[in-house]
Structure 1
Amino acid sequence: MHLKNPIRTKWTVIGLIISLCIPTMAMGKEPAGSSSSTNQIMNLVESSEAMSIPNAHNLLSIPMSVPQEQSLLTGKGHILESNKSQNRFEQNAVQFVSNMEASNYKQALKLSSQALKKSISEQWLEIYWTTLKQQLQPQAGSFIGFGGVEVKESNRVHTNVEVELQFEKATVPFTLRLDKNKKVDDFLLNTSMGPVASDPVYSNRNSFTEKDVVIGKGDFALPGTLSIPKGEGPFPAVVLVQGSGASDKDETAYALKPFRDLAHGLASKGIAVLRYNKRTFEHTVKTTADQNHTVDKETTDDAILATRLLEKEAKIDDVQIYILGHSQGGMMVPQMINQDKRQNIAGAIIMGGPARTIQDVVLDQFEYLLSIGQITPEDYEFFTAQFEMLNDPDFSGENPPEEFQLGQAMFWDSINDIEAAEMAKEQNEPLLIIQGERDYQVVSDIEIPIWKEELSHRDNVEYRLYQKLNHFFTEGEGDISTPFEYLSPANIPEYVINDIAEWVKSKPDKSE
C-alpha cells in the first residue's frame, strides 16, 4: 500500500500506543438505532489489530492505498457484478458485500454461516456497513464501488477472499472469511501495509517440513502451521503464543514477522514449532460480539489446545512440550501452567512478558510516548484515566463505570488482576525469561527485577538480556526504542534463536 506520510505516521503511533492490550468491543444486543450500538460498531470499524479507539477520541486512521487508475473499478455504479469465471467463494463474497451496499441486509445474512448469525443481525450489518463508509470518508473520500476480488489464502478453517473497497482517494482491502460451506463466517478490514522482513538467513528450509493443522474445533477453530525437523524424532516442541491484538500465526507487526523467524529458526535447529492465527484475528467479528470474551478465551484456552494437538503427533516428544509466550502471551504463561490439567507443559519461555499487571505496564507506555511527543496531553489524560479505572478494586466487568470506554469490560475484568511473577512463585515448571533492554513497552529495568525478586527461591529460572533489542526482539540504536522501529523490515537475531534452542535441548526436568 502507498500511504501519505501524515496518515501513516498517525496510524502507526496510535496503533502502537496500546499494543500490549486488546480493548475489543462488546457489540451487544442493543436496539439497532441506539447510540451505544452505533458507537460499539464504530469502534470495530476504527480498530486495527483489534485495538478499538473510543469514538470521542477518533485517533486511529485506517491505512489506505491510492488507486493508480480508476479503471480498476469493475461492475456498474456501486454494485460489483460477479464474473461467471469466479469460483463460488469469490461469488459469495462479492454477493455479500454487494447486498450490503444495496441495503439488502436480509440477503447478506443468508450468505452468513450459522456461527456468524449467532453474533450479528440485519440491523447490525446495516450499522456496520454505514459506519465503515462514514469513518473512512474523511481521508478516503466518498465510496465509489468495488474493485478486484481474489482468493488470497485457503487454510483448513477458512478461505479468505479479498474485495477491494474503492473510494475517491483510496483503495481499502476488505477480507471475508468463508467456511467450507462457502458461507461468510467473519470479515475485517485489511490493515497490512508496506514491505515485511524476508525469511531469515538462518532458516534452512531443507532441514524441516511444514504442515497445516487446526487448533480446537467448532465456531472458533484456528488454522495453524506445525514446523517439524526432518528425521525420525521424537523432537521437543514449542508452542508460540502471541501478544495482544489480532495477530496472525507469524505475529506480523508492521514490517516484522517474529513468530515466522522463531518457527523457522528453531525448526532448523531440531525443534518442532507450532504457531497459529490468534482467535481475535481469525474470528474478529465473532470475538468482538462476545460480551463474555475473556483473556482465557483469547489466549489461555487455545494455547492449551495447541499442546493437546502436539501430544498426538508421532514425531513430537510429548514430555518435551514447551510454551513460548510473547508480551501478553508471556504474561499469561503462569495462567496456562495453572490451567494445564494434564500437566504436559514441560516448561516455558517468557519473551518480553510483563511481571506486573497489564494496566501498570500500559500506563508506563503512555508516559513514555507523551515524553517523546507521540501522543498529546489530552490523549494521555484520557487513556490514563481509562486504565486507572481498572485499578479500582470494585471494577466489575458485569457493571462497569458508565465512563469506561476501553471495550469489552468482561475482558478487562478477567485480566486486570493478573500478576504473572506473583502467580509463578508457587509453580515448578522451568522458565527462560528473555528481554530486550531497549524495549519501551515492557521495560527491562522495571520488570526483570520483579521477576527475579518473586522467583528468587527457585533454581530453575534463567534470564537473558539483550542490549540492542526492542519489544519484538529486533535490533536498533539508542537507549530505548520507539514505535517507528517496527516499520523497518528486520529479523530476530540468530543469537536469540540459539539461546532458546540451547535451553530447550538441555531438557530441563520439572522440579519435584
Structure 2
Amino acid sequence: MKNNFGKKLVVGSLVVALAVPAATGVAAQASEVSSQENVDVVAGQIVPIRQALQYIGASVDWTNAEQIVRVQYLDRTMDIDVHAGTVTVNDRPVPFKGEIEYHYDVIHVPLELINEALGLQLGWDAAEQKPVIAEDAYEVRATSFISQWRSGNEEEAYSFMSAPLKNVFPMELLQAQWGGFAAYYGGHIGDIISIDHDENSVHHNVHLVFETEQVPAALSVRFDHNGNVNDLYTPIGAQGINEPPVYDNPQSYTEQEVTIGEGNLALSGTLTLPQGEGPFPVVVLVHGSGPHDRDEAVGGVKVFRDLAVGLADQGVAVLRYNKLTYEHPIKSHTVATTMQRETADDALLAVELLRGIDKIDSGHIYIGGHSQGGHMIPKMLELDTSGHIAGGVLLASPAVALQDILLEQQLYVVERLEELGIPVGDTSELDVLARQVEILNDPQYDHTNVPADFFLPPSNFYWFEQRDYVPVEEAKKHNVPLLILQGENDWQVTMNQFEMWKKDFGSSSHVQLKSYPNVNHFLVEYDGLSVGMEYGQPANVLKAIIDDIAEWVKNR
C-alpha cells in the first residue's frame, strides 16, 4: 500500500544516521502498547476524540465560531459539525449512528465513526484511556509510535519497541535521537506527506516521508511479526527511477523469499531461479560498503537485481539479500564491529542455506562480491573450511588494505574533478585523511593504543582489525577459481587495483581477469569521466558483464 497524498516530493540526497552507542545498554521498563491481533469495537462506545486521535498522530483542531472539529490524518480530512451533528470526510457526508457528546468540555464521538471515517480499526482501552491498535495495523502503529516519540512521550514510544531493540536503544536516548533527526533537516519536521508499507520474511516496513522547509525527511520503521518496532532506518541519499534492463525476461525465472540466518539478526533475501528442474549453479551476491538492500540500489541503478535477472535468464540462479546494516540498522551496531561480521559471515550463512535447496547444485555455489563484498572474498575462502565455495567473482574489488584504497579513491576523484574543470574547493581534508592512514599503517599502534588525532568511524577496533588484511595476498593462499572484473571508468576502485590483481594472478590458470572500457563503479557504461555525478541517472549493469559471469560459472 502506498499513499503520497497528491503532493510533489522533492528528492534530496541527504544522509541521516540514527547513531546509537556500540555497547549494549540495559533496557528501560515501559508498559506495553495496548494491542491485539483482532480489535473488537464495542457498539456504541464513545471516546474523547482529541485524546484518541492525537495518540495516532492525527491533528485535531477546534474552531469555536463554527463549532467544528477538524481532524487531519494522512490523506483524510474529517470535519465534525458539533452544532449540526454532521460529519464529512474529504467534503463527503458520512452517516453514522450514535451521538456527539460533551463531557466536561471534552468532545466524545462514537468509536465506530472514527474507524469508518478514517479507515481505521481502533479499539479503546478504557483503563489506560488510549487506543487499542491491532498488531498487524502497521501504518497506524508507525504513526502512533512517531507521534509519541516526537512529542517527547518517551515511555509510551518505548512501549512500542521490541525487546531486542530495547536492549541496544535505551529509552533516555529516544528524544535526543528525534532531536538529531530534526536538526539535520533544519530543526523542524512537519506533517507526513507519504506513507508506504511493504514486508519481507523478517520485517514489515512502514516508510514515511515528512515535510520540511528544505527537502523531505524519510524514515522507515521496521516491525517484527508481533507488531513491535524492531528497528529504524533512515535512507542514504535518494533513490532515482530505475528501469528494468532489456535482458530482464520474467518468463525465464521465478523468485522466492528466503531468510538467511535466524534469530534477532536474520536477513530477508530473494532467490532467483531459472525455469526448469535444475539443479542450477548459483551466485551469492555480496554488497559493497554501507547499508544496502538486496538490490544494491544506488541512485538510478539496481546492481544486484540486474545481475540476478540477467544471470537467471542464462541458467544461473542468484541469491541476494538485505545487508545486516540495512535490515537491522540500530541492532547491528552491537555486532557489526568487524568487516567479517558486517559482510563475510552472512555470505557464508547464505551458502549454507543454498546447500539445502533441491534445485541448487551444491557443488557449484559461487560468491559474487561487489566492491567491499569482493574485497572480502579471500577472507570468505579462509573461513570456508569445508570448501563449499566453488569460486569467487570479484566485481570492482580492491586488492589492497581498506585504509589504502580509501585514500587512493579520494585522491583520484580530486584529479578527475580537476580534469573536468569542476571546482574542488578546500582539500585540507585529504591531509587529515592521509594522517589517519599513516596512523593505521604504523605498527606501533593498535586499537588499544591510538594517538589523539585518530578518529575514523565506526570504531578503532574496526579499522585496526582490518588494517593488515590485504586481499591480493590472502587470495594467494587459496587455489579456488576466481573471475576478476573491473570497470575502466571507476574512480572508487581504480584500475591501479585491477593491475595489482593482474600482476599477481595474470598467469594463473585458475584466475581470469577482464576490464571494460567506460564502465563505472556500479558496472554501468558511462561515456563521460565518472566522478559519481551520473549515479542518479537510470541505468543498468552492462550485459557483457553478465554474459561473462554466466559463461565462467557454467564452464566450471
Compute the TM-score of the two structures, normalised by the length of structure 1.
Answer: 0.81
1:99/1:258 CA distance change after superposition, 3 Å:
same
Identity of aligned residues (%): 37
For 2:169 and 2:319, how far apart are their aligned partners in 1?
Answer: 32
DSSP-derived class of the 1:413 partner:
helix
Task: State how far apart, in whole Å, the 1-side matches of 2:194 and 2:304 are.
Answer: 30
What's the offset of the Cα at 1:250? 0.7
- Out of 129, 139, 143, the position equivalent to 2:189 is 143
Q: Which has the higher contact order (CA 8 A, sep 6+)?
A: 1
The answer for unaligned runs of 5 or more in structure 2 is: 1-7, 27-56, 62-70, 75-117, 122-135, 418-422
Tell me the residue number matched to 1:70. Answer: none
Residue deviations 1:140-162 (CA, integer Å, cap 9, x gap): x63334444431x1001000012
What corresponds to 1:195 in structure 2?
240
The structure-2 alpha-carbon separation of the partners of 1:498 and 1:401, relative to structure 1 and needing over 3 Å to count, comes to: same
1:307 & 1:142 partners in 2: Cα distance?
Answer: 46
TM-score (norm 2): 0.75
Q: Does 1:130 align with 2:179?
A: yes
1:36 aligned residue: none
Of 202, 205, 210, 1:157 maps to: 202
Q: Structure 2 vs 1, CA of residues 29 and 249 (structure 1 numbering), >3 Å: closer, same or farther?
A: closer
**1:349 CA displacement:** 0.5
Equivalent residue of 2:534, what SS? helix
Residues 436, 134 of structure 1: alpha-carbon distance in 2 compared, 3 angstrom cutoff: same
Contact 2:283 2:367 in 1 (8 A): yes
Higher helix share: 1
CA shift in 2, pair 1:29/1:501, >3 Å = closer
Measured after TM superposition, the shift of residue 360 of structure 1 is 1.0
Residue 548 of structure 2: aligned partner: 499
1:437-476 to 2 correspondences below 5 Å = 437-444=488-495, 446-455=496-505, 458-476=508-526
Residues 1:281 and 2:330 are matched in the alignment = no
SS in 2 for 1:265: helix
**Among 332, 335, 355, the residue aligned to 2:379:** 335
Tell me which residue corresponds to 1:396.
446
Deviation at 1:124, TM superposition (A): 1.5
Mapped to 1, the partners of 2:537 and 2:486 lie a distance apart of: 20
1:27 aligns with 2:27: no
Stretch of structure 1 that moved more, 305-314 or 105-114: 105-114
Deviations 1:432-491 (A, max 9, x none): 0000111111111x112221333356321001110121111101124x421112121111
Question: Pick from 409, 433, 438: which aligns with 2:484?
Answer: 433
Larger of the two Rg values belongs to structure: 2
Among residues 392, 398, 423, which one is paired with 1:348 in the alignment? 392
**1:361 counterpart SS class:** helix
Moved more, 195-204 or 394-403: 394-403
SS in 1 for 2:474: helix
Aligned residues: 446
Aligned to 1:143, what secondary structure does the other structure show?
A: coil
Counterpart amino acid of residue 448 in structure 1 = F
Equivalent pair of 2:239/2:298 in contact (CA under 8 Å): no
Q: Please state how far the C-alpha of 1:105 moved relative to its aligned partner.
A: 1.1
Alignment of 1:75-474 (within 5 A): 75-76=59-60, 85=120, 88-137=137-186, 142-151=188-197, 153-191=198-236, 193=238, 195-288=240-333, 290=334, 293-371=337-415, 372=417, 373-374=423-424, 376-398=426-448, 400-409=450-459, 410-444=461-495, 446-455=496-505, 458-474=508-524
Structure 1: stretches of 5+ with no match in the other structure: 16-22, 33-72, 508-512
Cα drift, residue 395 of structure 1: 3.7
Between 1:238-247 and 1:402-411, the stretch displaced more is 402-411
State the AA in 1 paired with 2:242. A
Shift of 1:374: 4.4
CA distance in 2, matches of 1:143, 1:237: 45
SS in 2 for 1:150: strand
- CA-to-partner distance for each residue in 1:52-83, whole Å, 9 max, x for gaps? xxxxxxxxxxxxxxxxxxxxx95248x98695
